[in-house]
Amino acid sequence: MRPTQAILLGIAAATLLVAAGATTASAQPDISDSFDLQEDDGFTGVCDAPCFVVRKSVDVFLAGNNTGPIACAAGENLFVYTLEHLGSPPSTLPAPGIPITEFEVEVDFSLVGSAGFIPGAGIAPTGIVVSPLNAVSFTFPDSTLCPGCLDQGKISEQLYICSNGDPAVRPDTISTTAILLDVQGECLVPVEPAACSIDIDKKCCVARGDDDESSDSDSDSDETLTDECADFDDDSDSGSDSGSDSDDSDDGGNPFLDACNAQAGETVIYQYVISNPNTEKLINVSIEDDQIGTIVSGKRLKPGKNKVFLASDVLYSTTTNTATVTGELKKSGTSCVGADSVTTTIP
């Protein structure tokens, strides 16, 4: 065992959470992965490289998927790991007596709700450590040719981590009784949920002309958009349409302002520019105006793109409108929110 791992086990209290039950035939993980990891260096007098090969499998059951072998707390994802010791290839000096003694994954300990193993016919770990050094380790008997060792031809029990973290690839280490035969790899582990942000820029434009009629919903035509407001609208998709995937709203000719002055009874056109600064697509995007109501709902927005929507209202007194935009990242489901206000002053 590596010295750093010995220290790790010494400073953290072992947490062994054994869950009753076994994997059901109906298990339907959201993510599955399997990889054969081999030792490439060898050990003089013990085995030629590769000394052993380990098949590492992981199944991830996202929150809400009830087909996993155990139930995590509400809102947590279930990560299930299995190790199979495939032994040494026939072309090398056989080394079945070199058991796997530890499987360690890099995980922020604050994200771990619980960790343990699921009893079955496999080799059970003798210890489980959730360390403040941001690692979760599963240890197995540290000897050779013992009935409970994880050596050639044997499979571990299902090891699990329950976490509210999102799946992502991070480093792991498989250790043996020989310090120089440790193998570093990667696997899916829980990480901090992706941050989500969404931007909204709300502006106003006073429509002066013959068509100052009230409209409490998205504008589907230019009937209420007169003069310069209507001229600008000709260059963008707005209202109940899908919006424009461009940056036209930042054009220097934009007549929409951060604040407006109007006369009682005039129609004010509101412009809502929403932007997605994330690396993932936003879904279920909605805009609510506290004075007008729902501006748009159920929209999607690609990374780095924006969309423009318009709505109008007839004002009779000074009014401050606050628009709130909500959405969620398509892959992680992380919710995000943004808001902006604009005031129209009426003497």
Which tens digit of pLDDT belongs to each residue from 272-297?
999 999 888 999 999 999 999 999 99
Per this entry, what is the length of the chain? 347
Q: Are residues 41 and 158 in the same domain?
A: yes
Q: Quote the CA–CA distance of 70 and 19 in Å, as a whole number.
A: 7
What CATH number did the domain enclosing 126 receive? 2.60.40
Alpha-helical regions (H) of the chain: 3-11, 227-233
Residue at a domain's end among 133, 162, 191:
191
Task: Report pLDDT digits (tens) over 250-269.
Answer: 445 678 999 999 999 999 99
Q: Are residues 100 and 73 in the same domain?
A: yes
Asked whether residue 301 carries a pLDDT value surpassing 90, the answer given is: yes
Order of strands, sheet of 335-345, starting from the edge strand that comes earlier in the sequence: 259-261, 335-345, 319-329, 282-289, 293-301
The predicted pLDDT at position 24 comes to: 47
Q: Are residues 302 and 279 in the same domain?
A: yes
Q: Are residues 213 and 245 in the same domain?
A: yes
Residue at a domain's end among 191, 223, 240:
191
Domain count, the chain: 2
- Name the percent of the chain lying above pLDDT 70: 75
Residue at a domain's end among 191, 215, 234:
191
Backbone φ, ψ for residue 227 (5° rounding): 55, -130
Task: Report pLDDT digits (tens) over 84-103.
Answer: 998 765 444 444 557 889 99
Q: Are residues 180 and 207 in the same domain?
A: no
Q: Are residues 155 and 9 in the same domain?
A: yes
Q: Are residues 184 and 241 in the same domain?
A: no
Asked whether residue 16 carries a pLDDT value surpassing 50, the answer given is: no
- What is the number of other CB atoms lying within 10 angstroms of the CB of residue 102? 23
Q: Quote the CA–CA distance of 339 and 325 in Å, as a whole number.
A: 6
For 24, the domain range is: 3-191
Q: Are residues 161 and 250 in the same domain?
A: no
Q: Are residues 12 and 111 in the same domain?
A: yes
- What is the number of other CB atoms lying within 10 angstroms of the CB of residue 308? 26
Q: Are residues 220 and 314 in the same domain?
A: yes
Q: Are residues 183 and 207 in the same domain?
A: no
Q: Quote the CA–CA distance of 303 and 325 in Å, as a whole number.
A: 16
Give me 186's structure tokens: 């990667």
- What is the number of other CB atoms lying within 10 angstroms of the CB of residue 184? 10
Q: What angle do CA 335, 337, 343 make, to 5 degrees?
A: 170
Q: Are residues 220 and 96 in the same domain?
A: no
The predicted pLDDT at position 103 comes to: 95
- What is the number of other CB atoms lying within 10 angstroms of the CB of residue 253? 9
Asked whether residue 151 carries a pLDDT value surpassing 60, the answer given is: yes
The predicted pLDDT at position 129 comes to: 95
Q: Quote the CA–CA distance of 237 and 149 in Å, as a whole number.
A: 66
**DSSP SS3 for 244:** coil
Q: Quote the CA–CA distance of 300 and 242 in Å, as a whole number.
A: 9
Identify which has the larger pLDDT, 161 or 88: 161
Order of strands, sheet of 158-163, starting from the edge strand that comes earlier in the sequence: 17-18, 112-118, 158-163, 77-87, 53-61, 31-38
CA distances from 226 to 233, 248, 268, 313 (A): 10, 19, 10, 13
